[in-house]
A and B are shown apart, each in its own frame.
Chain A
Amino acid sequence: MNVSLSACQEFDKQKGMLFCDVGIKGSGAARYSAAMYFYKQGRLSLEMLEICRRCSKFDHEDPFKLAEHEGIDLLLQSDFEFRAE
């Protein structure tokens, strides 16, 4: 079980967390934690981070839909593929 992830693997893992299915137990906190990871890398806006914080206790709340509803900018870096594949 002693496996350290490379930076690339960590990036992919966090991306998976950011876009994990809405409704899964603990997914709200997981999305917010991932949002913090990408914010620290300069890839996510402060506004989107705040949306994820507000949604972090609500596993059924989709922060991206909320952001869209509130007209929040998501992207900071154009090289970051922001949509779930």
Chain B
Amino acid sequence: MRNDIRDVEVPAEWDRRGLPGWCYHSEALLTLEKEELFKTHWQIACHVSDVPEPGNYHTFDLCGERAIIVRDSNGEIRAFHNICRHRGSRVVADEKGHCRNALVCPFHGWVYNLDGTLRGAARPDSFPDLDKNEFGLRPVECEIWNGFIFLRFRDGPQPSVKELLSPFAEEAAAYQMADKVPVEDIWTEETPVNWKSVRDVDNEGYHVAMAHPALQDLYGASYFDEPYVSGVSRSYAEFNRSGGRRWAVRNYTKMSKPQDYLPETLHQAWVYYGIFPNAVIAMTPETALFYQEFPLSTNRSLLRSGTYRHAEEDRQQRAARYLASRIDRETVEEDIQLTIWSNESMASTSFEGFYLSDLEYGVRTHHDHLRKVLPVYNMEQAPNEDDLQMINSSLDASVAQ
């Protein structure tokens, strides 16, 4: 398939292999992934509606880094490292909350204004004069895209979020996602797999007909994936004309109302944007949501998701949203099982690796994006763990020459 903005055609000939199995259980590779993928690529922290009023804050931890997103006294959203400049304690210990005045470090009591500047150190008589900017909270790069707050802990190869997602700008704007409000707190769950096994499952719809009976019933006839191109992918599906045989699907398609602010092509559709390396923003007529996964270890990952609804919704919309969440919950449980099966194969010496369908080209393009950042993924045999970083650097240099 080809669209006007980007070439999403599956080539006639392509390498159908996936990443080598060792990539899913290498400690040394995970260290590189944390440093060169997760900390240097945009991550969705939350939504503007998670911090609606001045003083509201939300925290976000990732691979040993931690951030606080706070709406300051002027209503501006700011992001800082959640690290006191004194001894490095968390300035904010809760996941979310409201600060009535200034941020107070719970360790010794340094006080920071909501713009990050230092109001004062505890026991100020025990310090020389401290410059409020020099000793202020260190900012984290932050960008808001359609209401979603993205952070990046270190500079990296991606352009701005706006530019990254520009192929979808018009479609995304139609959803008015910035005006939505949280359905509930951000959801997290640990899962016993390498993070890439989560993404490998999510990056293809080939398994939908087999593994997700509710999704198949909802939109299986029209579902398609566009692969990763320049860091983003897209999937799209319209409701089946048959109306659904399963209870939740049948009633959801009855209850889901076309939203007058959306173009007709999105009235009865679910749309997904994949954002390299580890996130998805999905839109339905009722909600906008994000989900992502972070590595905790080589064989444990954190799943994280937030869902946002219309600020004003009537009973029918609320019912539709509830039914959509039932379909989605069922799908997530099914996917978790698939990721476990996929991940355990990587530990088997008998498994010879993926042989991918054209319908799984998104998996390959995601892997190709990974290979571009860390060329060591190209090694079919596991390198010595102690040498992995050096080998990656040398491959990096050879690619650059």
A38 to chain B, nearest CB (A): 10
Residue B29, interface by CB 8 Å: no
Partner of B104, one of A24, A29, A40: A29
With contact pairs A3-B74, A33-B102 given, residues A40 and B120 touching in the complex (Cβ less than 8 Å): yes
Inter-subunit contact B74/A26 (CB<8 Å):
no
The reply on A82 being an interface residue by CB < 8 A is no
Asked if A36 contacts B125 (CB within 8 A), the reply is no
Q: Does B359 contact A (CB under 8 A)?
A: no
Flag if A29 contacts B124 (CB, 8 Å).
Answer: no
Task: Give the distance in Å from the alpha carbon of A14 to the alpha carbon of B100 in the complex.
Answer: 11
Cross-chain contact A53 with B109 (CB below 8 angstroms):
yes
List A residues 13-39 near B (Cβ within 8 Å): 14, 17, 20, 24, 26-27, 29-30, 32-34, 36-37, 39
B123 near A50: Cβ-Cβ < 8 Å: yes
- Say how far B38's CB is from chain A's closest CB, in angstroms: 32
Q: Which residues of A contact B123 (CB under 8 A)?
A: 50, 53
Q: How far is the CB of A28 from chain B (nearest CB, A)?
A: 9
Contact A2 B124 (CB under 8 A): no
Which of A2, A27, A33, A40 has the most chain B CB atoms closer than 10 A to its own CB? A33
Tell which of B54, B76, B101, B125 touches A29, judged by Cβ atoms closer than 8 Å: B101
Contact: B100 with A26, CB < 8 Å? yes
The bracket for how many chain A residues form the interface is 20 to 34
Q: Contact between A36 and B102 (Cβ–Cβ < 8 Å)?
A: yes
Q: Cβ of A32 and Cβ of B111 under 8 Å apart?
A: yes
- Write the A41-59 contact mask toward B (1 if CB under 8 angstroms, else 0): 0000010011001001100
Query: Is A1 an interface residue when CB atoms closer than 8 A count as contact?
Result: yes
Are A1 and B54 closer than 8 Å at their CB atoms?
yes
Which of chain B's residues have a CB closer than 8 A to the CB of A56?
104, 109
In the assembly, what is the distance between CA of A61 and CA of B125, in Å? 24
The complex places the Cα of A44 from the Cα of B199 at a distance, in Å, of 56
List, in ascending order, chain B residues with CB within 8 A of A17's CB.
100-101
Q: Which listed residue (B74, B101, B119) contacts A30, Cβ 8 A? A: B101
Identify 14 residue pairs between A and B in the complex whose beta-carbon atoms are under 8 Å apart, listed by A's number: A1-B54, A1-B75, A3-B74, A17-B100, A17-B101, A24-B100, A27-B100, A30-B101, A33-B111, A39-B120, A46-B124, A53-B122, A53-B123, A57-B106
